[in-house]
Amino acid sequence: MRDTEPPLNQTQKLRLQRALELLESLSSVTNSNASVTVADTIPVNQEDGVLKGHGTTELEGEVVATVCGVIERVNKLVYVRTLRARYKPEVGDIIVGRVIEVAPKRWRLEINFSQDAVLMLSSMNLPDGIQRRRTAVDELNMRSIFEDDDVICAEVRDFMRDGSLQLQARSQKYGKLERGQMLTISPYLIKRRKQHFHHLDQYGIDLILGCNGFIWVGEHVETKDNMIEDEPVKPDPQNDKSKTSMSLEEEEEETYTPFETRQNICRIANAIRVLSTLGFSITIDVILDVVDLSSSKGIDIHEMLGAEFYVLVAEREAERRNSSTRRKR
């Protein structure tokens, strides 16, 4: 566990230690050839002409790990992927970032990388949804799209010459994120998968698991297709007042998040915090399992960050992995 672990009494310490020991024994059985520590020997076939990559060295004719992590093999290349390290981006990654600067024709974002990421105005889906050349007017109105401290979802497009990342947000599913909260966890806890966008219909929540360790939990927002425009209607002066009052009511409804939805956001966010502190991989199934556990036990949202719930989650995960291991046998 991390430094943020809650204070445990003696009984809770014993229960947690027993659960973590069971998890460690199960992981060592299933991943005996995958995880290594410093000075562990990596099994390779020297006759195939192995290429030694990051985190490896040759010692007395054997390939030895120089860091703790997981063995990765790409054709003849063998390297060790460190776990608790900064985000290492790849093209196509779904990321969540925060705007730190509005520069000419671009936004700069903090994405938990060694350098800031860049989102060009030309790589951004405009609010009107029309694909066209960006003009000087668009550049002047950049702050109406994104401004400082806005949270954005985007995709890694390419690497620039100076080593920074170039992002793109050319789809309606990308863009500004509102009415929710952003969590920061270690990037190694989020595995690259086919789907990083999740709509939890039963809770009315949108969940985005950013590959860079930033997670967004917010109210569900329907993506609107702005490419379809309505036919122009002639103005009616008699209905101007009624239309103005209706538009104000609609704006209030759009900016208001129901109390139940806010509770669901906090419950799911606390479930992610507990899993991150325990060092468990963050997946949608595990998150929902922790949320269901808190609801079934009648645990309030603020009590999820207490010591007892941490122990319950560890015991539940150990029991789940143990049962799945038995079924495979």
Per-residue pLDDT of the chain (329 residues; tens, 9 = 90+): 454 567 888 888 898 888 888 887 776 555 545 778 888 888 887 767 788 888 898 888 888 989 888 888 888 888 888 877 778 899 999 999 999 999 999 999 999 998 899 999 988 887 766 677 888 888 898 999 999 999 999 999 999 888 789 999 888 889 999 999 999 999 988 988 889 999 999 999 999 999 999 999 999 987 654 433 333 444 455 555 554 555 545 555 567 789 999 999 999 999 999 999 998 889 999 999 999 999 999 999 999 999 999 999 999 988 888 887 777 66
CA angle 179-183-188, nearest 5°? 145
The per-residue pLDDT for 231 is 38
Q: What is the pTM of this model?
A: 0.79
The per-residue pLDDT for 29 is 53
DSSP state of 112: S
| E-strand stretches of 117-232 | 117-124, 151-159, 165-169, 175-177, 180-184, 197-200, 205-209, 214-219
Rounded to whole angstroms, what are the CA distances from 123 to 119, 161, 166, 167, 176? 7, 18, 9, 7, 14
The per-residue pLDDT for 322 is 81
Rounded Cα–Cα distance for residues 34 and 57 (Å): 17
In the chain, CATH 2.40.50.140 sits at 85-177
In the chain, CATH 2.40.50.100 sits at 34-83
Paired tokens of 74:
């790409």
The CATH fold assigned to 34-83 is OB fold (Dihydrolipoamide Acetyltransferase, E2P) (2.40.50)
- Are the C-beta atoms of residues 295 and 271 closer than 8 Å to each other? no
The per-residue pLDDT for 329 is 61
The per-residue pLDDT for 88 is 85
Paired tokens of 112:
């938990």
Give residue 67's Cα distance to chain centre.
Answer: 25
The per-residue pLDDT for 167 is 94
Rounded Cα–Cα distance for residues 182 and 248 (Å): 28
| Amino acid at residue number 117 | A
The per-residue pLDDT for 230 is 35
The per-residue pLDDT for 275 is 94
* Superfamily the domain 85-177 falls into: Nucleic acid-binding proteins (2.40.50.140)
The per-residue pLDDT for 73 is 82
